[in-house]
Amino acid sequence: MICPVCKYDMIVVEYHNIELDYCNSCKGVWFDSGELELLLESQDLEETKVFLDGILNSQEAISSEKKRNCPICDHKMKKTAIGEQPEILIDICRDKHGLWFDGGEIAQLIRRLAGEHPSRHDSKEQVISFLEEVFEAPD
């Protein structure tokens, strides 16, 4: 798959049967929606599923950021903001092929998730360490 930002080939990162596409050049990450769902299911994170549905069905954010094309269907993706101040802007395929995180946005999301729902600390912790492992490993 080709990186929607810099057009380099992305590398496939596999972890617990879940494959992600990672761009070594801009550090962006592509999640197929099915893969993200698998990840959340494997962690049994109901709250996170609600969170994901919220993202997939949210309104387009107003942004001056350049629009990116979906690496699967090549149509322009919509910008969606996660959280508030400072919000994280991610790109989502309108046909729900998946989500694109620019380099650094995953790290912001990890910090955001880590700060929320302290009562669900254990399961959140698993996803956070999963993400850390995946995104800090390749170099």
**Which parts of this chain interact with Zn ion (CB under 5 A)?**
3, 5-6, 23, 25-26, 28, 70, 72-73, 93, 95, 97
Nearer to Zn ion among residue 108 and residue 126 (C-beta): 108
Report the nearest approach of Zn ion to the CB of residue 65 (Å).
Answer: 15
**Nearest approach, Cβ of residue 69 and Zn ion (Å):** 8
CB of 37 to Zn ion, least distance (A): 16
Asked whether 29 and 106 are in contact (CB, 8 A), the reply is yes
**Helix/strand/coil for 4:** coil
| 25 or 126: CB nearest Zn ion | 25
34 versus 83: smaller Cβ distance to Zn ion: 34
Give 28's contacts (C-beta < 8 A, 6+ positions apart): 3, 4, 5, 22, 100, 101, 102, 103
Shortest spacing between CB 43 and Zn ion, in angstroms: 25
DSSP designation for 116:
S
Whole-angstrom distance, CA of residue 105 vs CA of residue 124: 17
- Shorter beta-carbon distance to Zn ion: residue 37 or 126: 37
Q: In this structure, what are the phi and psi dihedrals at residue 99, rounded to the nearest 5 degrees?
A: -130, 145
